[in-house]
Amino acid sequence: MQRRSVVEASNDPAARAAAVEAQALSMSEDEYVAARWQAEIEAETTAWTVEGESLDRYDRRRGGTGFAAKDLAFIAGERVKEFSEPGDSDKSRCNASARSRDCRASAEGGTMPETRYDDLRALFLNCTLKRSPELTHTGGLIDLSRAILEKQGVQVEVLRAVDLDIATGVWPDMTEHGWASDAWPRLYREHVLPADILVIAGPIWLGDNSSITKKVIERLYACSHLLNDAGQYAYYGRVGGCLITGNEDGVKHCAQNILYSLQHLGYTIPPQADAGWIGEAGPGPSYLDPGSGGPQNDFTNRNTTFMTWNLLHLARMLKDAGGIPAYGNQRSEWDAGCRFDFPNPEYR
**Exposed / middle / buried, residue 73 (Cβ in 10 Å: 0-12, 13-18, 19+):** middle
25, 105 Cβ separation under 8 angstroms: yes
Q: In which band, very low, low, confident or very high, does the pLDDT at 288 lie, cut at 50, 70 and 90?
A: confident
Tens of pLDDT, residue by residue over 290-302, are 888 889 999 999 9
240, 224 Cβ separation under 8 angstroms: no
Tens of pLDDT, residue by residue over 40-85, are 655 555 544 444 445 455 445 445 545 444 444 444 454 444 444 4
**Exposed / middle / buried, residue 251 (Cβ in 10 Å: 0-12, 13-18, 19+):** buried
204, 244 Cβ separation under 8 angstroms: yes
Q: Which stretches of 108-210 are DSSP H helices?
A: 137-151, 184-187
Q: Which of 267, 276, 332, 279 is nearest to 123 (CA)?
A: 267
Number of helices (H), then strands (E), belonging to the chain: the values are 11, 6
Q: What distance in Å separates the CA atoms of residue 55 and residue 68, rounded to the nearest whole number?
A: 7
Tens of pLDDT, residue by residue over 73-130, are 444 454 444 444 444 444 444 454 455 445 545 544 444 568 999 999 999 999 999 9
Q: What is the pLDDT of residue 79?
A: 43
Average pLDDT on 184-199 reads 98
Centroid of chain to Cα 33? 27
Q: What distance in Å separates the CA atoms of residue 234 and residue 176, rounded to the nearest whole number?
A: 21
Cα first-last separation, the chain: 72
Beta strands 239-246 and 197-205 are parallel
Q: What percent of the chain has pLDDT over 90?
A: 58
The SS3 of residue 179 is coil
229, 324 Cβ separation under 8 angstroms: no
Q: What distance in Å separates the CA atoms of residue 40 and residue 25, rounded to the nearest whole number?
A: 19
For residue 227, what is the DSSP state?
Answer: B
Q: What is the pLDDT of residue 7?
A: 44
Q: Is the pTM of this model over 0.75?
A: no
Q: What is the pLDDT of residue 274?
A: 97
Q: What is the mean pLDDT of the chain?
A: 81
Q: How many CB atoms lie within 10 A of CB 21?
A: 16
Average pLDDT on 314-319 reads 98
Tens of pLDDT, residue by residue over 133-146, are 999 999 999 999 99
Element (H or E) spanning 130, and its range? none
259 pLDDT above the threshold of 60: yes
126, 159 Cβ separation under 8 angstroms: yes
Q: Residue 246: phi, psi to the nearest 5?
A: 175, 180
Q: How far is CA 314 from CA 20, 208, 210, 232, 320, in A?
A: 34, 28, 28, 19, 10
